[in-house]
Amino acid sequence: MSFSTTARNHHPCVSEGLNPGRIRRDFPILSRKVHGKPLAYLDNAATSQKPQQVIDAVSRYYSRTNANIQRGVHLLSVQATDAYEATRERVRKFLNATRAEEIVFVRSTTEAVNLVAQTAGRSILGPGDEVIVSRMEHHSNIVPWQMLCQEKGARLRVIPVSGRGELLLDEYEKLLNPRTRIVAVTHVSNVLGTVNPVRKMVEMAHGHGALVLLDGAQAVPHLEVDVQELDCDFYCFSGHKIYGPTGIGILYGKWNHLESMPPYQGGGEMIRSVSFEKTTYNEPPHKFEGGTPNIAGGVALAAALDYLENLGLDRVAAYENELLEYATSRLSQVSGLRLIGTAPSKAAVLSFVLDEVHPHDMGTILDLEGVAIRTGHHCAQPLMDYYGLPATARASLAFYNTREEIDALCRGLEKVMEVFE
């Protein structure tokens, strides 16, 4: 159940291996109690907690440089614009994009997928054409394509998965054909933790002339991502899952695609000139960024990326893999528990069910023990249907989690069993 990354940066003050005790002091919320118990926050795939450095960046923006960006000539506006645009360059380096103009600010991964569907997708999809997604997709990477296919008379096709939660590449290869226009797949499953072989999948899709969008929401907190190496056409992620603020997300697109795509929304900043007779649109990325954005969120996203990379992505990956192996072993010892998703290449996500206990009941009892997990279908109902389950419980780990918190989860599950005996 291992995965590996290559570090891009090392913090000079960090020795080999992570010190979770030291790291946890950077996250104020982790010191609080819930129902009188120490908080064990194991819901990181839903949203991650924020280090003080990110909180300070938001506060600093509002207390020192709050102003609207791009259009002002006064000092505060210039400073706010510089900070916001510096984040664009910071994201470019983080993803290893070719140029900063390939980075589009959006609200979330969901908005990024919708943007691509309603611009590039709408432009190239016609009756009888096909879009390929996988069975393990989040609803946000199903519904926009479903809507577009219905409108255009196109067909949505689905890559199947194996019982242990791997995409069946032989079946994927059979789906690809001259009518395939777009392939949209998740880099890491939010339910199973499966790390998909996306580089190979991109190469296969490009062999049939299809565009590829990768949903990286669950990948960027755990893996080094190099969009040039992946050769994907689009890559997207959300700031709040990578220790940044909510309401800010990123769409990477190859420059030639962004240049040819029509605008997504009309408004301020995405234009060069407007008259009642004609509007001339701005260049990418501003062409897709109409209206006042989440400036504070954008500025603070840079602080989140700095924090993560200063730890060293290789150290983060190694530590989270140790936690994953420990959690897998401990949960496997819980009587009546069954893990859902056992692919050999996984990120730190564990979904499970317990005999005769609904996941919502599990989550409620665990909450009383201070343990925060996620229960439900995780916005992946087609995947739940494949496994014949209405829901699962999901524990998702981050570099600030500890073995003691996993032990607390297992003790809580023992209490669940006691209640339902």
Full domain range(s) for residue 366: 20-50+312-419
- pLDDT band for 16, please (50, 70, 90 cuts): low
Asked if 54 contacts 243 with a C-beta cutoff of 8 angstroms, the reply is yes
Do 341 and 162 touch, CB atoms closer than 8 A? Answer: no
User: How far, CA to CA in Å, does 335 sit from each of 24, 332, 389?
Assistant: 31, 8, 19
Domain with residue 90: its CATH number is 3.40.640.10
8 is a domain residue: no
For 304-328, the pLDDT digits (tens) are 999 999 999 999 999 999 999 999 9
**pLDDT per residue as tens digits for the range 17-29:** 899 999 999 999 9
Residue 269 pLDDT > 50, yes or no?
yes
Q: How many domains does the chain have?
A: 2
Q: 199 with 82, same domain?
A: yes
pLDDT tens across 41-79, in order?
A: 999 999 999 999 999 999 999 999 999 998 779 999 999
Whether the per-residue pLDDT at 265 is higher than 60: the answer is: yes
Which of 309, 340, 363 corresponds to the end of one domain?
Answer: 309
For residue 4, being part of any structural domain is answered with no
Both 154 and 276 in a single domain?
Answer: yes
Q: What is the pLDDT of residues 387-409, one digit of tens each?
A: 999 999 999 999 999 999 999 99
Shared domain check, 59 and 43: no
Considering the domain architecture, whether residues 225 and 332 belong to the same structural domain is answered as no
Same domain, 386 and 251: no
Average pLDDT of every residue of the chain? 94
* 60 Cβ contact list (under 8 Å, min separation 6): none
Query: Are residue 361 and residue 219 in the same domain, yes or no?
Result: no
Q: What band does 410 get if pLDDT is binned at 50, 70 and 90? A: very high
Predicted structure pTM score: 0.94
Domain co-membership, 37 together with 67: no
- By CB atoms closer than 10 A (0-12, 13-18, 19+), residue 350 is buried
CA 11, CA 50: separation in Å to the nearest integer? 19
CA 293 to each of CA 130, 224, 241: distance values in angstroms, whole numbers, following the listed order: 33, 27, 19
Q: Is residue 94 part of a domain?
A: yes
Cα torsion 21, 24, 29, 30: sign: negative
Confirm if 153 and 127 have CB atoms less than 8 A apart.
Answer: yes
Average pLDDT of the residues in 95-122: 98
Of 166, 212, 205, 173, which Cα lies nearest the Cα of 188?
166
* Model pLDDT for residues 333-373, shown as the tens digit of each residue: 999 999 999 999 999 999 999 999 999 999 999 999 999 99
Long-range contacts of 23-26 (CB under 8 A, 24+ apart): 23/311, 23/399, 23/400, 24/400, 24/402, 26/51, 26/52, 26/53, 26/307
Helix ranges (H only) for 333-354 are: none
For residue 181, what is the enclosing H or E element?
Answer: strand 180-186
Query: Is residue 124 over pLDDT 80?
Result: yes
Q: Which of 276, 309, 342 is the last residue of a domain?
A: 309
In the predicted model, is pLDDT for residue 14 greater than 60? Answer: no
For the chain, the distance separating the N- and C-terminal CA atoms, rounded to the nearest angstrom, is 32
Contact between residue 221 and residue 243 where contact means Cβ atoms under 8 Å apart: yes
Are 198 and 320 within one domain? no
Buried b (16+ CB within 10 A) or exposed e, 336-345: ebbbbbbbee
Q: Is the pLDDT of residue 9 over 50?
A: no
Q: Summarize the confidence of residues 263-278 as an average pLDDT.
A: 86
Query: Which one of the listed residues 149, 232, 236, 379 is annotated catalytic?
Result: 379
Q: Is 379 a catalytic residue?
A: yes
